[in-house]
């Protein structure tokens, strides 16, 4: 067992950490307060090759691996959860399905600009009545000549307002058992009938764009169908397995930030004539936070490693997502407690970590769904 990062992975970590601290950190509070999506920062990330880390160079990527990408998400999330979420969604959900299941033509036309960082992508799965029950999708795609005509509504879609393409899940027919066939279709956002609005006033991850997508008789050519039309559901389950690694990495980043802030504050804050880090009650909090952060890191990295080595990773990605995101919430909560009244104030930033962390227990499969996935993998 080798827990050392490779030279390339260490270089990526250092590069992303420097970029996050130098470019994102000075604006993190403002982006949260104003709920501003930092398009210029994503352009810079594209120029650095961050949006193409896990994709081959032939498709505009950097030729890196899942672990390198997870480390990048962790480092960005450590500074700004909202920026980290949009980064994770752009790669794992907006671009990865095209790499996994797309034709060569689709990869050249749609993946290339995403991996090169010249465009953003989004993934339209969630609907007003289809969240955890993704099989309850109501959006339809009806064949009409050489086209699909799509009608439906998607909600809580990350990056949609700034995306060039949205991969939409839609019912395309019935199988032999009478169940809905759900397929994935690439929809350019400038297609007639696509309406995207971003009116959500969110509790956290406010630097990330979250939008509603209305599809009103949207006509796209049949060649925009992604992968096997009969296996659309399985395809997006695989996509979500990979996406869970990145959300786990984001949780890890927030947990790490919470630990660092709490530790630094505890050493500086004086009460009863000494630093509060000298009090056992605070020491135990910091010890638990440190332990959980490291355990989360090991699980996130292991899930990424399994994926990179083409081994089954469904259960491990659920472990990682569940544990790392719940760790993020606990760590942020304890960081606020250690800060006392100051932790409740925006300027100390730990309250933002808590607000950002909460979404991670909901998005890309709630904590309850992760437990269900794990139980099923155990044969329950």
pLDDT, tens only, 133-182? 888 899 999 999 999 999 999 999 999 999 999 999 999 998 888 889 99
For the beta carbon of residue 33, count every other beta carbon within 10 angstroms. Answer: 12
Backbone angles phi, psi at 225, to 5 degrees: -65, 135
Pairing of strands 120-124, 274-275: unpaired
Structural domains of the chain in order of their starting residue, each with its CATH number: 7-120 (1.10.540.10), 123-229 (2.40.110.10), 233-378 (1.20.140.10)
Q: Which of 240, 261, 266 is nearest to 328 (CA)?
A: 261
pLDDT of residue 34: 96
Write down the residue that tokens 């991850």 correspond to: 205
Which residues of the chain fall below pLDDT 70?
none
pLDDT of residue 62: 93
| DSSP result, 138-204 | --EEEEETTEEEEEEEEEEEETGGGEEEEEEEEEEEE-TTSPEEEEEEEEETTSTTEEEE-----SS
The set of catalytic residues is 364
pLDDT of residue 134: 80
pLDDT of residue 155: 97
- Helix 232-268 × helix 280-308 angle, to 10°: 150
Written as six digits, the tokens of 34 are 């104003």
Written as six digits, the tokens of 51 are 């949006």
């Amino acid at each position: 067992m080798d827990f050392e990062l490779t030279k390339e992975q260490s270089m990526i970590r250092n590069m992303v950490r420097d970029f996050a601290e130098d470019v994102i950190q000075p604006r993190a509070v403002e982006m949260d307060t104003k709920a501003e999506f930092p398009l210029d920062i994503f352009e810079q990330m594209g120029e650095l090759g961050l949006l193409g880390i896990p994709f081959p160079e032939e498709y505009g990527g950097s030729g890196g691996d899942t672990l390198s990408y997870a480390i990048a998400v962790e480092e960005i999330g450590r500074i700004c959860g909202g920026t980290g979420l949009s980064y994770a969604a752009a790669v794992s959900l907006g671009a990865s399905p095209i790499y996994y299941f797309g034709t060569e033509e689709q990869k050249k036309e749609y993946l290339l600009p995403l991996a090169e960082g010249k465009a953003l992508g989004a993934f339209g799965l969630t609907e007003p009545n289809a969240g955890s029950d993704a099989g309850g999708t109501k959006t339809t795609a009806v064949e009409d000549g050489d086209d699909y005509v799509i009608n439906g509504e998607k909600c809580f879609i990350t990056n949609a307002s700034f995306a060039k393409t949205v991969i939409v899940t839609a019912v395309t027919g019935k199988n032999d058992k009478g169940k809905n066939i759900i397929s994935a279709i690439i929809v350019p956002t400038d297609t007639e009938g696509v309406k995207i609005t971003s009116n959500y006033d969110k509790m956290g991850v406010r630097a990330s764009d979250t939008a509603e997508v209305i599809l009103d008789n949207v006509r796209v050519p049949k060649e925009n169908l992604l992968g096997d039309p009969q296996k659309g559901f399985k395809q997006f389950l695989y996509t979500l397995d990979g996406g869970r690694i990145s959300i786990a990495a984001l949780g890890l980043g927030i947990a790490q930030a919470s630990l660092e802030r709490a530790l630094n504050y505890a050493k500086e804050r004086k009460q009863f004539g000494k630093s509060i880090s000298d009090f056992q009650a605070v020491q135990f909090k910091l010890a638990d936070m440190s332990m959980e952060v490291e355990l989360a890191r090991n699980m996130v990295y292991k899930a990424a490693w399994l994926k990179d080595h083409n081994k089954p990773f469904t259960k491990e990605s659920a472990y990682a997502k569940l544990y790392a995101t719940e760790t993020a919430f606990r760590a942020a909560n304890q960081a606020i407690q250690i800060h006392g009244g100051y932790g409740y104030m925006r300027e100390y930033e730990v309250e933002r970590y808590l607000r950002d962390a909460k979404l991670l227990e909901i998005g890309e499969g709630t904590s309850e769904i992760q437990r269900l996935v794990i139980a099923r993998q155990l044969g329950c």
